[in-house]
Amino acid sequence: MDYSIYTVFLLAFFAGVVECCSVMSAPFEFRRRIGLTPQENGVQCGGCYECPDLWELANGDFAIIGEDITDAARAALPAIAGCGPAERIIRLPRRVLVNAKRDIPDKV
């Protein structure tokens, strides 16, 4: 079993940030899990803590549950990427995103 974890730089927005788009002011409703459960992805987590996950929200956006690596990763971002004060860089294990690929829509 490959336990390598690759860093996926995904920017997740805090609920309080409404400047980006008007849909951010709506209450969050988690529609469905994208991909396998953390346990099916081989994650040993207890009490739903430290269980990386990917969810589709009712408005079609995605919510990422993972390790916040913003402080450590911000300085290493490529010049063409940025992370604003209301954004976070989240590490998502590679297997979570790869196993979720079949559930991610092909069209916007």
Q: What is the pTM of this model?
A: 0.70
Q: Whose CA is closest to 97, among 2, 1, 9?
A: 9
Q: What is the pLDDT of residues 16-29, one digit of tens each?
A: 333 344 445 567 89
Structure tokens at 102: 């079949």
Q: What is the pLDDT of residues 42-81, one digit of tens each?
A: 888 877 788 899 999 999 999 999 999 999 999 999 999 9
Give CA–CA dist 78/76, Å, rounded.
6
Domain ranges of the chain: 10-103
